[in-house]
Structure 1
């Protein structure tokens, strides 16, 4: 029987080649994420990651917080999402200030970006994460308010 799990390089490190992490699909998926996509600046990486986080954080805060049944639920959701993005940005800034080592190459990411191996790169990533996170939360808020306003029901009534 063939071994499905093999050590990738030194077996002491624990970087194992499994059918999941060494498949072409997994490598393509991971390497197309903003953190590992080739040719992006730290600002662009931070902006993309921040937009995704801000956009996804708005919904749970608006719909499941203690204000969910009040008229202010969407505003509270926006505020809480922005506060969490600010906290995450502070955490990224602290991480960048303590000294960053070179990223480790693995089976799925054989060429990690060099820009995120310096404190300056992480600082640029963090500042762009803040802008993207607030923008993503604001965009989700605007979409929620437009849908909540009933404008699409008006168009539906025109069709018959």
Structure 2
């Protein structure tokens, strides 16, 4: 299943390395296969060492997902990353972990700041409630705690961050 042409190439898969569901919802209008990764400690993915949030490890995770999905001959890939996801996308490309990489797009990447934030991520996650009474309660908490700045974004983003 191939999508739109880009620079004379057919892009069949876009891998999104974003931290929120609403970004994937916006980009899902593109006519190609979209893979929105659930990075370690950002969703429901279970990994052996969930506290290892290094850029190298998360870049390997991206490469491992592509390999698990497509084996040794993946289709042409456009790798798109936002914020810290942009840094992970760069590390993935730099380490040649996606052999069929056609293009790399970074949106609002803040390499130093985002990578420094990895060190404090575990403290942030420990401060987050383990359960919420309801999805609405989780949405309310995300805005009051400052994790998300507006209610509309929280309603889209929190859906993918909590189990019901």
Q: Same fold (TM over 0.5)?
A: no
- Report the TM range for the smaller structure's normalisation: under 0.3
Task: Determine which structure has the larger helix proportion and give its number.
Answer: 1
TM-score normalised by the chain length of structure 1: 0.28
TM-score normalised by the chain length of structure 2: 0.28
Query: Relative contact order: is structure 1 or structure 2 higher (C-alpha 8 Å, sep ≥ 6)?
Result: 1
CA radius of gyration, larger in? 1
